[in-house]
Amino acid sequence: MKNQRFSMQREQIFQAVCASKEHPTAQMVYDSLRPELPRLSLGTVYRNLHQMAREGRLEELDGQVARFDAVLRPHTHIRCSRCGQMADAAVPYDPSMDRTAAPEGWTVQSHDLIFNGICPACAGDK
């Protein structure tokens, strides 16, 4: 029974990331699931998100706070320099950069492109 509950929680954590366009943090996932899973702990969310990232089910994005993305195809992001919010950028991913960006002797396997700026919410906080 305990393993079944763990599997259910894990799947709900995964679905919460899939349903979000905000590239949620573990705290955001926890807050969204807490009403329906009152026994869920923040530690469980962290462990499951990191495990799913290691398994390749999610992408863990670096920043002030780790964020997670269920879109695994290569794509670009934009990050708010003030609050850390992330979104998909409207710039197409360019695989040719893998061939042209590497110094001599290097083989590029992939690249991550993150633009930094100010989100609309923070821009309104002037």
| pLDDT number for residue 65 | 84
CA distances from 38 to 13, 47, 88 (A): 13, 17, 31
Three-state SS for 125? coil
Mean pLDDT computed over every residue of the chain: 89
Q: Enumerate the H helices of 22-91 as residue ranges.
A: 26-33, 42-55
| pLDDT number for residue 124 | 86
| pLDDT number for residue 1 | 44
The stretch 23-44 carries a mean pLDDT of: 96
Question: For 82, phi and psi rounded to 5 degrees?
Answer: -90, -55
List Cβ neighbours of 106 (8 Å cut-off, separation of 6 or more): none
Return the CATH number of the domain spanning residue range 77-123.
3.30.1490
| pLDDT number for residue 78 | 94
Q: Is 17 buried (19+), middle (13-18) or exposed (0-12) by CB count in 10 A?
A: buried
Radius of gyration of the chain (CA): 17
Instruction: Please give the share of the chain, as a percent, with pLDDT higher than 70.
Output: 94
Q: pTM for the full model? A: 0.69
| pLDDT number for residue 19 | 95
| pLDDT number for residue 115 | 93
| pLDDT number for residue 36 | 94
Tell me the per-residue pLDDT of 65-116, one tens digit each, with 9 for 90 and over. Answer: 889 999 999 999 999 988 889 999 999 889 888 888 888 899 888 888 899 9
Q: Enumerate the H helices of 1-126 as residue ranges.
A: 2-19, 26-33, 42-55, 96-100, 120-123
| pLDDT number for residue 80 | 92
Pairing of strands 77-80, 59-61: unpaired
Ranges of each domain in the chain: 2-69, 77-123
Architecture of domain 2-69: Orthogonal Bundle (1.10)
